[in-house]
């Protein structure tokens, strides 16, 4: 019999603070956020991308282009899990060519999801610059991928899993570490 141990490591308020901090860092890094496109990796990355865009709008008082980038067919584990449901890619008006794109994901782990996202991104256009924002970086990289903006670094063991809960999907906001016992 397997039991699990859960620990809430970020609350709703912590997540909001992290996204606000990331928004300010994006503005600073992009010199005000001109020609910026925020693309979230479904499912929770797309939700977080919308929230980040809202924070950027509040701070800069300008519209920020936001969309989502489906990576389903670019994954290197598709043969292991062939029944994945694709999510539609939604690229804002004006596209991504010659613009700064901020890819948003919920958890950065091995780097394989981000690698797939980069492949998908360059199939739809040629951005001037690509930056990566993640709510949680849990380590254990298998590819040379490094985030530009991180909400929280959470050193974890490989036996642990990190779950992101978003109000829009799960009915609550939280980051939870689960360890199998």
For 91-102, how does the pLDDT look when each residue is reduced to its tens digit (9 = 90+)?
Answer: 999 999 999 999
Tokens of residue 96, six digits: 């991504």
Between the alpha carbon of residue 31 and those of residues 138, 145, 162, the distances in Å are: 28, 23, 33
The pLDDT of residue 63 is: 93
pLDDT of residue 159: 93
CA 54 to chain CA centroid, nearest Å: 15
Q: How far apart are CA 156 and CA 138, in angstroms?
A: 6
Confidence of residue 78 (pLDDT cuts 50, 70, 90): low
The DSSP symbol for 137 reads E
What's the pLDDT at 84?
A: 67
Structure tokens at 131: 């930056």
CA 152 to CA 169: how far, in whole Å? 21
Query: pTM of the entire structure?
Result: 0.93
Percent of the chain clearing pLDDT 90 (strictly above):
85
Q: What is the DSSP letter of 98?
A: T
pLDDT tens column, 40-58? 999 999 999 999 999 999 9
Convert the pLDDT of each residue in 113-152 to its tens digit: 999 999 999 999 999 999 999 999 999 999 999 999 999 9
Task: Give ∠ CA 120-66-107 in degrees, rounded to 5.
Answer: 60
């Amino acid at each position: 019999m397997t039991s699990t141990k859960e620990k809430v490591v970020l609350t709703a308020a912590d997540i909001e603070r992290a996204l606000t901090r990331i928004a300010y860092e994006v503005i600073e890094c992009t010199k005000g956020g001109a020609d910026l496109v925020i693309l979230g990796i479904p499912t929770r990355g797309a939700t977080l991308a919308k929230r980040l865009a809202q924070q950027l709008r509040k701070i800069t008082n300008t519209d920020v282009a936001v969309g989502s980038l489906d990576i389903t067919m670019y994954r290197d584990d598709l043969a292991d899990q062939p029944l994945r449901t694709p999510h539609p890619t939604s690229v804002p008006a004006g596209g991504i060519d010659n613009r700064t794109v901020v890819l948003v994901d919920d958890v950065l782990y091995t780097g394989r999801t981000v690698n797939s996202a980069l492949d998908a991104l360059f199939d739809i256009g040629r951005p001037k610059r690509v930056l990566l924002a993640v709510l949680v970086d849990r380590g254990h990289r298998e590819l040379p991928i490094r985030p530009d903006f991180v909400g929280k670094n959470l050193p974890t063991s490989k036996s642990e899993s990190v779950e992101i809960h978003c109000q829009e999907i799960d009915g609550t906001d939280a980051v939870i570490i689960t360890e199998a016992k």
